[in-house]
Amino acid sequence: MVGSVKPVALHCLSNYSFLRGASHPHELIEQAYQLGYQAIAITDECSLAGIVRAYVAAREYPIQLLVGSEFRLDDVGTLIVLVRNKQGYAQLCELITLARSRCKKGSYLLQLDDFKQRLSDCEILWRPLTSLGLTPALLALAQRLRGLFGQRLWLAYGRHYQADDAEQYSLYQSLQQNTGIKVAAACQVTYHQASRQPLADVLVAIHEQQPLDCCLAQIKSNQDYGLRTAAELQQCYPAEWLATAAEVAKQCHFCLSELQYQYPAELVPAGMNATEYLRQLTYAGAAQRFPQGLKADVKAKLEKELQLIAQLKYEYFFLTIHDIVQFAQQQDILYQGRGSAANSVVCYCLQITAVNPDQIDVLFERFISAERDEPPDIDVDFEHQRREEVIQYIYRKYGRHRAALAATVIRYRLRSALRDVGKALGYPEQELRHYLQQIDKRDTECDWQQQLSAKVPGLLETQRGRWLLTLTEAIKGFPRHLSQHVGGFVIAATNLNQLVPVENASMPERTVIQWDKDDIEALRLIKVDILALGMLSALQKMFKLVREHYHQDYHLANIPPADQQVFKMLQQADSVGVFQIESRAQMNMLPRLKPHCFYDLVVQIAIVRPGPIQGDMVHPYLRRRAGQEAVTYPSAAVKQVLARTLGVPIFQEQVIKLAMVAAGFSGGEADQLRRAMANWKSNGELQQFEHKLIRGMLARGYSDEFAQRIFAQICGFGEYGFPESHSASFANLAYASAWLKYHYPLTFYCALLNSLPMGFYSADQLIQDARRHQLVVLPANIQQSHWHHQLVPLQQGYGLQLGLRLVKGLAADEIKQLIEQRPRSGFRNLQQLRDLGLSATTLQRLAAADVLGSLAGNRYQSQWQSLAHQAEQLPLFAHQQTAEATPDYLPKPSEFADIAGDYQTTGVSLRRHPLALLREQGWLRHSKSAQSLQLCRHKQLVTVTGLVTCRQRPGSAGGVTFITLEDETGMANVVIWARVAKAYRKAFLTSQLLTVKGILEREGEVIHIIAGELIDSSEQLARLGMQANRSRDFH
């Protein structure tokens, strides 16, 4: 009879028991299925972090997944809690939450008393501590547990072929006889198959922070901790105990699919249902958004969307977000939604987004798709300086027991993997560092193992070296710990901790659930992403300044669309400070792509990304756009997907859609593909789709070449693909900021400067750009400046008065207080500042920044006086003191010293550019200025010299480094090939002032210098006492 019982595994740890389990949950499930198991329990230690992955895997096989968790208690041993039903599941979640809440991130604390009356719907397996044998204490404990759990308590006996097996066996037998607690056969499973033993041992060593040789006591002495075959189990355990195990499993019939996520009910007023209420809100919003009434096609779309939302029961999701953005609106916090569902008419009407459907009509074909079976995706960006207010609102409204952040699973990546595995194998840290230096992650030709074995040939000759490579590769993608998601909130109808365990985050006062975004998605729970975006802060300030000084009321939704002047500006790459299209690479693309409508911006934002670049989509798109290449489609179905991007896939959605129309993927499969794309670097899942995809396309008559190209593009998209839905929302902000830059440039720069740090450029670069636009910028000074930068009236128009916030090391409050007390006529002397309570250090910071000029002379004189603060002044004479006579031992600052001082204390100088001085002194006789490059021929040999302000080596550019050189007339873009970089390694890596000899290349309006020779000219700066380390390195 027993022979017919299918085996069950009651105690399995996955790798979500960090540094203990050596197999992924899906590996355990698949192995159990292969071995013919009836059921398998995933019982990670005080955690359900891996259970959803197990559930997703188990859905594919006819095997029962038991949900449980293991707890190790001092003096008691190990308790394995298995969930019987939904109540039991909630009880387990609460118990884990309790245990985790008592400790800092990563640990837990439980006592036996905590189990009292908490686990009425769970089965409890007990693995006692047996090192002392069958003592009276052990018997007493057994009785106590029996009292707590009654018939739901079982003894878990695992035989692992150790020397004391016989003693253990008889101990369990006597325990059963003495207490009546039945013994169930339950191996301790820490990996799915014996071949994982090395990895398991390495995890132990990592946990112990010792090399393997030093943790022999902790390492298991054999490889019997995997899943066993039915035959092996029968050989190992008495039939009766196996039957008991099956009996335990039979008690448990909970499935995660039973979890019904309930939305917060309070969002819907009494007497209405969610569908009605959403409809009501949407139409009320529509009346505002479309004062002239809804056009027929828009109304049809709106109806279709509402219908779909009702069908999929997503009303509460939209209502939740609506509620949050309502709050933001009341508080005057600027926000914008993005994501697939965000670009809907419903979201536009609910004021979640400001992307006008008239503008990007084409996007509405992509909405929540019933067919594709994806949950709705809306991220809401808020002003970065005010996001915390929104988060606090959510906590206030729903309570901390109902709202928590989603987790992010931090996984082993190559670096951390090699380092940890290496240390476990006893490699010195230095050696591992050396190995890591040999690996170029951007090398697409050779993977890291090939690179390493090529560069360190001896490594593979040793057993240890081979293990290093094998095990590093094996541990990659293993979860290492849970961290908090940037802003994904899960909000529950009642207590969240009955749905999923909640634990402490490392940030005080923050709690995270044990599931990450993929888990949440798999269980169809809803998460709301509350994100922070610097540009929204800046835009909000721009709108405010425009209202104050120009009396125009603009906001995101009413900026005049399709302004050709604005697009003309962008076509000339005049985009410093414009959202998303300000980087060097974007600036290079602008004159080529020549955007002239909103949708071009959507493309522009998505195309300058590693995905399209690696997939080689940029040039075909540009050629087609320029009419140099015919726009063709292999089929009408493909045309439908790719028409709006001229037959070239640029967005993530298009690639997914292609898989469906060209390779015949079902909606569900396409969704899996999307997930695999997001994660493929960590688990290589994507390859499994290759065959299916290519076969599918060939079968539908597409050429092999086309199929291969599409797959290459999918791989390229992998980590970096950018969805059209997000790009559209970003394009909206890009357009808004560009429009403001063109029409209200002063407010644009002023607001950007007041929102720093954000974006791509420093204050200095923004101010230089402003001055190149002929704007008047006034230096900060104690008589006129406020804390923030401001617009001030000039005889004609306005100027930008820099604020004192530029000065490093000041406290905002102290300065604001001082400014409030500033007399109308200004301060008279330094003593007055001291009398107003300004601290000595603040005064010295101000003096060093040369903002006290009107009170105390040049920066040296000002500082000389400020420092004299220590001396006591008799009050009587205090006011007589004006600017002290300058002693002759005090030098006068040179122009260079002033420039250098400005940069040191504020990072900005309005004086001459250092290069102007060098040029004046004849140091740059052979170098052309950045401006004069415009007049040079294509292929002309040129020499340029400039401060290195940016070094960029994009992963997509195949060993090329882009350097930006700045001189007094502007920027020059230099392209440095790996060969040149290597030949002039020292100048390439260390120059602050760089001279480049090379060939000028001109492509339309884009000018590059292809470097042939690099000369480090930094000495000339040093000669003049100037340190100009302003480079921003982006390697």
Partner 1 sequence: MNKWVYVHFPHLLLDYQLALQPPELTDAPQILVTSQQGQRLVHQATAAALQQGVRLQMAEVLASTLVTHLQIRDYHQQQEQRVLQQLAQLVYQDVAQLVLVPPQGLLCEVASLVRLHGGYPNLISYLQQRLQQWPLRYQLSCGYSPLSARLLAQAQQGVINENPAVIQQALAELPITACGFTPSQQQRLQEVGMQRLGQLMQVPRAELGRRFGKALVLYMAELQGELPSPQHYYQPPLSFQQYLDLLTEIPSWPQLLFPLKRLLQQAEAFLQGHQQSTRMLLIKAHHRHGQPTQVRVAFAHPVWQQQDLLQLSQLHLERQQLVQPVLGLTVVIQQTEPRVASNQALLTETKQSETNIDSLVSLLQARLGTDKVHRITLHQHWLPEQRGQLQAWQRAQAVQAAGQHSSLRVKRPLWLLPEPQPIQVQDWDLHWGPEHLATGWWLSEPVQRDYFIGVDKNQRQAWLFKDQQGWYLHGWFS
DSSP 505: -
Identity of the residue, 784 or 904, whose beta carbon is nearer to partner 1 in the bound complex: 904
Q: Which of 985, 1003, 1023, 1029 binds partner 1 (CB under 8 A)?
A: 985
CB of 826 to partner 1, least distance (A): 23
Identity of the residue, 425 or 833, whose beta carbon is nearer to partner 1 in the bound complex: 425
The answer to whether the CB of 467 falls within 8 A of the CB of 198 is yes
Regarding 809 and contact with partner 1 (CB under 8 A), the answer is no
Q: Is the dihedral of CA 388, 389, 394, 395 positive or negative?
A: positive
| Window 999 to 1018, contacts with partner 1 (CB under 8 A) | none
CB of 758 to partner 1, least distance (A): 24
CB-based contacts of 626: which residues, under 8 Å, 6+ apart? none
Q: Which of 135, 170, 222, 921 binds partner 1 (CB under 8 A)?
A: 222
Task: Give per-residue burial for 402-427: e unless 16+ CB within 10 Å, then b.
Answer: bbbbbbbbebbebebbbbbbbbbbeb
Regarding 191 and contact with partner 1 (CB under 8 A), the answer is no
Regarding 643 and contact with partner 1 (CB under 8 A), the answer is no
Q: Which of 107, 983, 1025, 1029 binds partner 1 (CB under 8 A)?
A: 1025
Q: Candidates 37-45, 74-82, 193-201, 615-623 — which segment interacts with partner 1 by CB under 8 A?
A: 193-201
The dihedral over CA atoms of 295, 298, 304, 310, expressed in degrees to the nearest 10, equals -100
Identity of the residue, 429 or 616, whose beta carbon is nearer to partner 1 in the bound complex: 429
* Both structure tokens of 660: 């469906």
Task: Give per-residue burial for 165-175: e unless 16+ CB within 10 Å, then b.
Answer: eeeebebbbeb
Going residue by residue from 833 to 872, which x/- string records binding to partner 1, judged by CB under 8 A? -----------x--xx----------xx--xx--xx-xx-
CB of 912 to partner 1, least distance (A): 20
Q: Which of 30, 224, 519, 582 binds partner 1 (CB under 8 A)?
A: 224
DSSP 952: E
In whole angstroms, what is the distance from residue 136 CA to residue 138 CA?
5
| Window 707 to 736, contacts with partner 1 (CB under 8 A) | none
Q: Candidates 217-225, 376-384, 616-624, 744-752 — which segment interacts with partner 1 by CB under 8 A?
A: 217-225
Q: Candidates 26-34, 211-219, 284-292, 603-611 — which segment interacts with partner 1 by CB under 8 A?
A: 211-219
Q: Candidates 369-377, 633-641, 716-724, 985-993 — which segment interacts with partner 1 by CB under 8 A?
A: 985-993
Q: Which of 250, 990, 1019, 1022 binds partner 1 (CB under 8 A)?
A: 990
Burial of residue 578 (number of CB atoms within 10 Å: 0-12, 13-18, 19+):
buried
Identity of the residue, 275 or 952, whose beta carbon is nearer to partner 1 in the bound complex: 952
**What is the three-class DSSP state of 617?**
coil
Identity of the residue, 612 or 914, whose beta carbon is nearer to partner 1 in the bound complex: 914
Identity of the residue, 194 or 557, whose beta carbon is nearer to partner 1 in the bound complex: 194
Token pair 């104690």 is found at 782
CB of 415 to partner 1, least distance (A): 13
Q: Candidates 218-226, 237-245, 254-262, 396-404 — which segment interacts with partner 1 by CB under 8 A?
A: 218-226
In whole angstroms, what is the distance from residue 226 CA to residue 160 CA?
10
| Window 882 to 901, contacts with partner 1 (CB under 8 A) | 887, 889-893, 897, 901
Going residue by residue from 146 to 175, which x/- string records binding to partner 1, judged by CB under 8 A? --------------xxxxxxx---------
CB of 203 to partner 1, least distance (A): 13
**What is the three-class DSSP state of 798?**
strand
The answer to whether the CB of 20 falls within 8 A of the CB of 190 is yes
Regarding 242 and contact with partner 1 (CB under 8 A), the answer is no
- Beta strands 777-778 and 970-976 are unpaired
Identity of the residue, 197 or 369, whose beta carbon is nearer to partner 1 in the bound complex: 197
In whole angstroms, what is the distance from residue 649 CA to residue 760 CA?
28
Angle at 307 between CA 301 and CA 312, to 5 degrees: 125
| Window 452 to 471, contacts with partner 1 (CB under 8 A) | 463-464, 467
In single-letter form, the type of residue at position 265 comes to A
CB of 926 to partner 1, least distance (A): 24
In whole angstroms, what is the distance from residue 368 CA to residue 305 CA?
8
Q: Which of 137, 216, 699, 1022 binds partner 1 (CB under 8 A)?
A: 216
CB of 471 to partner 1, least distance (A): 9
Regarding 443 and contact with partner 1 (CB under 8 A), the answer is no
The answer to whether the CB of 341 falls within 8 A of the CB of 376 is yes
**Total interface residues for partner 1 by CB under 8 A:** 52
Identity of the residue, 220 or 772, whose beta carbon is nearer to partner 1 in the bound complex: 220
CB of 847 to partner 1, least distance (A): 7
- Beta strands 1032-1034 and 941-952 are parallel
| Half-sphere exposure of residue 767: CA atoms within 13 angstroms, side-chain side | 27
In total, the chain counts a number of residues equal to: 1035
* Both structure tokens of 855: 């009170």
CB of 622 to partner 1, least distance (A): 34
| Window 401 to 430, contacts with partner 1 (CB under 8 A) | 425, 430
Regarding 198 and contact with partner 1 (CB under 8 A), the answer is yes
CB of 219 to partner 1, least distance (A): 7
CB of 1034 to partner 1, least distance (A): 15
CB of 173 to partner 1, least distance (A): 16
- Beta strands 993-1003 and 1006-1016 are antiparallel
CB of 13 to partner 1, least distance (A): 19
Q: Which of 131, 260, 774, 795 binds partner 1 (CB under 8 A)?
A: 131
Q: Candidates 195-203, 477-485, 874-882, 920-928 — which segment interacts with partner 1 by CB under 8 A?
A: 195-203
Token pair 């052979």 is found at 926
DSSP 579: T
Regarding 323 and contact with partner 1 (CB under 8 A), the answer is no
Bridge partners of 801, per DSSP, are 778, 790
Q: Which of 27, 44, 201, 769 binds partner 1 (CB under 8 A)?
A: 201
In 413-491, which ranges are continuous DSSP H helix? 414-424, 429-437, 448-455, 463-475
**CA–CA distances in Å: residue 729 to residues 339, 556, 775:** 8, 11, 30
* Both structure tokens of 141: 């404990």
Identity of the residue, 232 or 1001, whose beta carbon is nearer to partner 1 in the bound complex: 232
Angle between helices 564-571 and 584-593 (to 10 degrees): 120
**What is the three-class DSSP state of 974?**
strand
Identity of the residue, 400 or 869, whose beta carbon is nearer to partner 1 in the bound complex: 869
CB of 12 to partner 1, least distance (A): 20
Q: Which of 437, 795, 825, 880 binds partner 1 (CB under 8 A)?
A: 437
Token pair 């060993």 is found at 959
Would you report the helix, strand and coil content of the chain in percent, each value rounded to 5?
A: 50, 15, 35
Residue ranges of E strands in 854-992: 941-952, 961-967, 970-976
Best CA proximity match to 12, nearest among 258, 165, 187, 205: 187
In whole angstroms, what is the distance from residue 580 CA to residue 562 CA?
18
DSSP 156: E
| Window 742 to 761, contacts with partner 1 (CB under 8 A) | none
Residues engaged in binding partner 1 (CB under 8 A): 131, 160-166, 197-198, 201, 212, 216-217, 219-224, 425, 430, 433-434, 437, 463-464, 467, 844, 847-848, 859-860, 863-864, 867-868, 870-871, 887, 889-893, 897, 901, 985-986, 989-990, 1025
